[in-house]
A and B are shown apart, each in its own frame.
Chain A
Amino acid sequence: MKTIDLTYSDQKTLLSYCWFDKIDNKNELLTLISNRDQAVKEMVLIDAQMITAEHTLFVVSEKVIKSKKNNELKTENIYGELLYSLSPNSNIKSAFLNFGLSSLSDRILAVYFGENIEQFKKNLESIGLISEWNPSDFELQKHSNIEKLAKIYGFKKEKDIQDINKIIWTCISTKGNL
């Protein structure tokens, strides 16, 4: 698990996140999410095949924290906002379907904002997410769904991965300003 400080307007928020691969209980996880179970309420599970670089998480988290501080959330909470902000368009449902956990997800990224990291760890254990995966950006790119990302973000899938990352970060950070 990694934890970093996000700073906005001199206020710090802790961002904790960890990756998991070979998920074998995704149907149970999906049931927990749809039932709004307490264990998954204070975190967000992102489909890791939609993330091509760790830096994407920092770009999107910075945007979410800023929206929260300025009372500009478009969704129920910061976790919903994280999924929404990953998507370049303003359709909340499609953002959740595209970036959230689905029955096709084999790898996931779990994210938590706040100080209570021990509780986050306990929650992860309680839903069966125990052995972490520590991917490099190269591994993330290898397992990412470039075809789907190209369709969503509007780039040509043949592009170099560095250019793809640049487009994704710009799409996320400029959402609502284009």
Chain B
Amino acid sequence: MIISQGAEARVYKTDFYGKPAIEKVRFQKKYRHPTLDAKILSRQINQEVRLIHRCLLNDIPVPCIYNIDKHEYKICMEYIEGDKVKDVLLKHNGENDIEGLLALKMAEVLAKMHDNGIIHGDLTTSNMIMNFGLGFVSKIPEDKAVDLYVFERAMISTFPSSAKLLSMFFESYTKMSKHSASVMNRLADVRLRGRKRDMTG
């Protein structure tokens, strides 16, 4: 049963020897040369599983992996019951207690990820812990700041009235992350120029 589809992959609900699981199947892109396509898909799978492994070792709540099939570009992982951040916010829009709790939880997870050098790369309210396809490892404040900026933009575009939630989120992130000072300074610069870095000079 298909449960979601994005630009890069389809996600099916399945079963792995009695345990509820999801199967994430990456698409082959017909416009790419097949050899290059295979290389890119394989690298994306490697990147994703490497980050999930790193998260698990550092107590970051992510689904575990049951199986990888690089011939069919599939990752089979644990199915985690629950709602997406987006759905919770839609259901409880304007409820300060729930929004505050959510902001705290998101900040806690993201601070832990950043402190362990894990950059999500595509933080939105729909794929907080699920999708590490664009993630990478970095200790640089710039990369962490861009991660926060992408999240901030995603929140504002989906929930235009989320200013309060975002301020609670940044307040908690600043308290929880060990290197938050340099990241927040950098975030101010990123806000002024956008996520793309100036490549001149």
Contacts and interface: CB of A to CB of B under 8 A. Distances in A.
B50 A178 contact: yes
A130 to B, nearest CB: 27
Contacts of A159: 59
Interface stretch (A56-64, A96-104, A105-113): A56-64
A118 interface: no
A170 B18 CA distance: 17
Nearest to A59: B66
A169 B66 contact: yes
B50 A166 contact: no
Given A166-B78, A174-B65, A174-B68, A55 B52 contact: no
Contacts of B17: 4, 55, 58, 62
Contact of A178 (B46, B66, B67, B71): B46
Interface residues of B, number: 23
A154 B67 contact: no
A177 interface: yes
Contacts of B67: 59, 62-63, 66, 173
Question: Which secondary structure dominates where chain B touches chain A?
Answer: mixed
Contacts of B59: 159, 163
Nearest to B69: A66
Interface in A33-88: 55, 58-59, 62-63, 66, 70
A167 interface: yes
A171 interface: yes
A155 B57 contact: yes
B163 to A, nearest CB: 36
Nearest to A88: B53
Interface in A129-178: 154-155, 159, 163, 165-167, 169-171, 173-174, 177-178
Contacts of A66: 67, 69
A155 B54 CA distance: 11
A58 B18 CA distance: 10
B128 interface: no
A163 B56 contact: yes
B68 A167 contact: no
A113 B69 CA distance: 20
Contacts of B69: 66
Most buried by B among A4, A59, A159, A165: A59
A18 B76 CA distance: 26
B64 interface: yes
Nearest to A69: B71
Given A4-B17, A177-B49, A167 B57 contact: yes
25 contacts: A55-B18, A55-B19, A58-B16, A58-B17, A59-B67, A62-B17, A62-B66, A63-B67, A155-B57, A163-B56, A165-B64, A166-B56, A166-B64, A167-B57, A167-B64, A170-B49, A170-B56, A170-B64, A174-B49, A174-B50, A174-B53, A174-B68, A177-B49, A177-B70, A178-B49
Interface of A: 4, 55, 58-59, 62-63, 66, 70, 154-155, 159, 163, 165-167, 169-171, 173-174, 177-178
Given A59-B66, A159-B59, 15 more contacts: A55-B19, A155-B57, A163-B56, A169-B65, A170-B65, A173-B65, A173-B66, A173-B67, A174-B52, A174-B65, A177-B45, A177-B49, A177-B50, A177-B70, A178-B50
The 8 closest A-B pairs by CB, nearest first: A166-B64, A58-B17, A174-B49, A170-B65, A173-B65, A170-B64, A167-B56, A178-B50
